[in-house]
A and B are shown apart, each in its own frame.
Chain A
Amino acid sequence: MTWLPYAVAIWLFLVGIYGVITSRHFVHLIICLSVVQSSTYVLLLGIGYRVGAAAPVFVDIPPGTPAVDPVVQALMLTDVVVEVTVTALLLALAVLAHERTGKLDPNKLGILRG
């Protein structure tokens, strides 16, 4: 079953991109980007997992006990918080686009072309 996280990661990536491609609403598109980002989290955590190991916190277990990979967890946790703010930036762009053009459909903005 160790292939499951990787399968989920690939699935999430493709489903998220599918959502972006078929999107008709900017907020939907931006949330689909978050879905794509989650695929990278699942991939990283799947790589870091060790069967039968403990969490890498040595407060109540002696140092030296087998633990899962803390490096991928560290990479991931900063990414999660950062992703929220980047999503906020994209949403701000979407809000303004709606205010200026009255449209929220990515297929219909149509100012820059050719």
Chain B
Amino acid sequence: MLTPPIPVVLPLLMAALLAALHRMPRPLAFLLSILTTITVGAVAIALLNYSREEPLIVYWFGGWSPRQGSAPGIGFAIDTAGAMLVLLTSVLATASLIFSSRYFDTVGTLYHSLLLIFVAAMNGFALTGDLFNLFVFFELMSVAAYALCGYKSEEPGPLQGALNFAVTNTVGAFLALTGIALLYSRTGALNMAQIGRALGDRADTLVVVAFALIACGFSVKAAIVPFHFWLADAHAVAPAPVCALFSGVMVELGLYAIVRVYWTIFSGALATHEAEVRTLLATFGGLTAVTGALMCYAQRHLKRLLAFSTISHMGILLLGVALLTPQALAGVELYVVGHAFVKAAMFLAAGILLHRTATLDEIELARRPRRLWVPAALLVAGAAGLAGAPTFGTFWGEMMIGGAAHGLRNEWIEGITFAASAATAGALFRFAARAFFGWGPARDPGSKIEELPDTQTGHRHTPAAMWVPAVGLMVAGLVAGLAPRLTGAALSSAIHLEDRAGNASRVLDHMAPYPPAVGDQPLMAGDVARGAGCLAAALLVAWLTLKSRAIFPAGRLRPAVRWLRDLHSGIIPDYVTWVMVGTAAFGAAAVLWLRG
């Protein structure tokens, strides 16, 4: 079987080649990079096809297959979710590369090499079945991201953003590594399936602490409150095509790691405390969704606004993950896909806006509104997508998460999801209305973030290389939701992911359990009503804000929002303090409630 290493090895090889031949003409560099990402996408589709018959494709590097149920080598454990993430990465990366092919200020071939390394790392992260390999790809992904974030190093902003990003994520990586070391000491293994088997069905202090450390470490990447402070800073300053990848895939991979690690390693040991795990994760998720939505509303810089909406939606995703049922996990998968397309398209739209007007500030744009149809349409459609309007992936995702929440009588989760989606979508509607149509002039005492364009020349029209990928992504997001038997496919994928014992025997004992057939979740009128209702709520919220003069109205909430905004100080010591506070809180809760 030749294909499993390709999503990782091909981009790495091409990155090395491009770095060696760094004087190659720019179109050639772009051509090679785009061909690479397209090839990886094709391989992902092949893997997806294959995974319909074989729920888990196992590939051992160096030929070190398992012996007597123990795995000495590094293995890829490719299931539908992983292959889907690789496909998503390839599509987004191709779009970003096409977007930046015309005017982006590339520095030799450094941009292409770093982007390809970034893509390779994300692919490896999604496909691997080995815990330390997961960590290595996590580090690789992060390092490429730090460099890409500080890309526009002529300005001071990107440097601060990149530093905040780098220091906070490095601390997160150390936390995760500590947890991994603890697991290694207990089980003597680094293969996830083997660790899961060795942990048995009881969790003592060490196991619980390892879970807390690994979850907190990956939560930094996943921008869960209070580990989230770096994300807005990083997104505000990174170039638009890079932000598309950050918000579209990278942040979601942090959550994917938590899901993987929980289901493959800890679900047996923590099985008796499922309710407590649910509460713990849901608390963090709810907190994230609400904080993200509030902060999102108070922003005037488009990329920072989109960044906080990502944080809010990560909260929604964590709420879905917290439910711990296959239906909820299937909803999360669909939501991730829908959100990725929509968010990436919106970041590319921000890039187009920056290219044409050299500013992304809502107030400044409101003073001289420009009728730029492509970014306007993309932002409005994207807002609808974030609100969970029908046929976006987010709609199906919310439907399934809501169904799962109902089943567990956790309706408050639905409530928070609804409110957060409406708020973030409303903020985007408000931005579009002010920036493109000049409705409701406003003033805001908050700080303005200066930003120089990513592009060199040609600010008078939007080149096809820019609007085609952006529109294409948005259309893909809409159309993907029309795929037949979407919920059924997601449901079977989720069931396989959660099948700890079955996966372990596939990985370690070369045995193939028969995959059960799963039906679709039927679409109910209530779901469509909810989707439409959320959209309506978002429009209402936007309209109410436009009528008032301030960016963030609601006088009684203002001191709270002011306090929240002050917390996001841009100061690294503050951020790291919050990471420690969050870890201590999660760890204490875990030790108190998840043992035994």
Stretch at the interface among B33-41, B151-159, B309-317, B328-336: B151-159
Contact between chains at A111 and B570 (CB < 8 Å): yes
Knowing A40-B181, A96-B153, the reply to whether A90 touches B174 (Cβ < 8 A) is no
Contact between chains at B171 and A93 (CB < 8 Å): no
Stretch at the interface among B115-123, B139-147, B261-269, B401-409: B139-147
Is A114 located at the chain interface by the 8 A CB criterion? yes
Size class of the contact patch on chain A: 35 or more
What 0/1 readout, one digit per residue, does chain B (149-173) give for beta carbons within 8 Å of chain A? 0100111110111111011001100
Knowing A37-B174, A114-B447, the reply to whether A20 touches B572 (Cβ < 8 A) is yes
Task: Name the interface residues of A14-60: CB closer than 8 Å to any CB of B.
Answer: 17, 20-23, 26, 29-30, 33, 36-37, 39-40, 43-44, 47
Chain B residues contacting A93 (CB-CB under 8 Å) are: 146, 150, 159, 162-163, 166
Q: Which residue of B lies closest to A95 (CB)?
A: B159
Contact between chains at B449 and A86 (CB < 8 Å): no
Contact between chains at B181 and A43 (CB < 8 Å): yes
Contact between chains at A13 and B178 (CB < 8 Å): yes
In the complex, which of the residues A21, A47, A100 contacts B159, with contact meaning CB atoms closer than 8 Å? Answer: A100
Contact between chains at B576 and A17 (CB < 8 Å): yes
Contact between chains at B568 and A20 (CB < 8 Å): no
Contact between chains at B157 and A36 (CB < 8 Å): no
Task: Name the interface residues of B184-210: CB closer than 8 Å to any CB of A.
Answer: 184-185, 190
Report the minimal beta-carbon distance from A91 to chain B, rounded to whole angstroms: 11
Contact between chains at A114 and B163 (CB < 8 Å): no
Contact between chains at A36 and B156 (CB < 8 Å): no
Chain B contact residues: helix, strand, loop or mixed: helix
Chain A residues contacting B456 (CB-CB under 8 Å) are: none
Task: Name the interface residues of B202-224: CB closer than 8 Å to any CB of A.
Answer: none
Knowing A21-B577, A106-B571, the reply to whether A101 touches B156 (Cβ < 8 A) is yes
Is A110 located at the chain interface by the 8 A CB criterion? yes
Task: Name the interface residues of A74-103: CB closer than 8 Å to any CB of B.
Answer: 75, 82, 86, 89-90, 93-94, 96-97, 100-101
Q: Which residue of B lies closest to A24 (CB)?
A: B573
Report the minimal beta-carbon distance from A75 to chain B, rounded to whole angstroms: 6
Q: How many Å lie between the Cα of A103 and that of B211 in the bound state?
A: 39
Contact between chains at A86 and B160 (CB < 8 Å): no
Is B457 located at the chain interface by the 8 A CB criterion? no
Is B547 located at the chain interface by the 8 A CB criterion? no
Q: Which of B154, B157, B566, B570 has the most CB of A within 10 A?
A: B570
Contact between chains at B146 and A89 (CB < 8 Å): yes
Q: How many Å lie between the Cα of A109 and that of B155 in the bound state?
A: 12
Is B14 located at the chain interface by the 8 A CB criterion? no
Contact between chains at B162 and A17 (CB < 8 Å): no
In the complex, which of the residues B146, B178, B446, B569 contacts A40, with contact meaning CB atoms closer than 8 Å? Answer: B178
Knowing A21-B573, A22-B573, A97-B159, the reply to whether A86 touches B298 (Cβ < 8 A) is no
Is A107 located at the chain interface by the 8 A CB criterion? yes
Q: How many Å lie between the Cα of A22 and that of B573 in the bound state?
A: 7
Contact between chains at B163 and A26 (CB < 8 Å): yes
Q: How many Å lie between the Cα of A13 and that of B566 in the bound state?
A: 28
Is B177 located at the chain interface by the 8 A CB criterion? yes
Contact between chains at B181 and A100 (CB < 8 Å): no
Chain B residues contacting A4 (CB-CB under 8 Å) are: none
Q: Which of A23, A37, A89, A114 has the most CB of B within 10 A?
A: A114
Chain A residues contacting B446 (CB-CB under 8 Å) are: 114
Report the minimal beta-carbon distance from B360 to chain A, rounded to whole angstroms: 14
Is B244 located at the chain interface by the 8 A CB criterion? no
Q: How many Å lie between the Cα of A114 and that of B162 in the bound state?
A: 17
Q: Which residue of A lies closest to B571 (CB)?
A: A107
Chain A residues contacting B170 (CB-CB under 8 Å) are: 33, 86
Is A112 located at the chain interface by the 8 A CB criterion? yes
Is A72 located at the chain interface by the 8 A CB criterion? yes
In the complex, which of the residues A22, A100, A114 contacts B156, with contact meaning CB atoms closer than 8 Å? Answer: A100
Chain A residues contacting B132 (CB-CB under 8 Å) are: 75
Q: Which residue of B lies closest to A97 (CB)?
A: B159
Q: How many Å lie between the Cα of A40 and that of B179 in the bound state?
A: 10
Contact between chains at A97 and B156 (CB < 8 Å): yes
In the complex, which of the residues B171, B237, B569, B573 contacts A113, with contact meaning CB atoms closer than 8 Å? Answer: B569
Chain A residues contacting B160 (CB-CB under 8 Å) are: 97, 109, 111-112
Q: Which residue of B lies closest to A110 (CB)?
A: B570
Contact between chains at A112 and B155 (CB < 8 Å): no
B residues adjacent to A (C-beta < 8 A): 132, 139, 143, 146-147, 150, 153-157, 159-164, 166-167, 170-171, 174, 177-178, 181, 184-185, 190, 232-233, 236-237, 298-299, 446-447, 449, 565-566, 568-573, 576-577, 580
4 tightest A-B CB contacts, nearest first = A100-B156, A112-B570, A97-B159, A47-B185
Q: Would you give 14 A-B contacts (Cβ < 8 Å), ordered by A? A: A21-B573, A40-B181, A43-B178, A44-B181, A47-B185, A86-B139, A86-B143, A90-B166, A93-B159, A93-B162, A97-B163, A101-B156, A112-B449, A113-B447
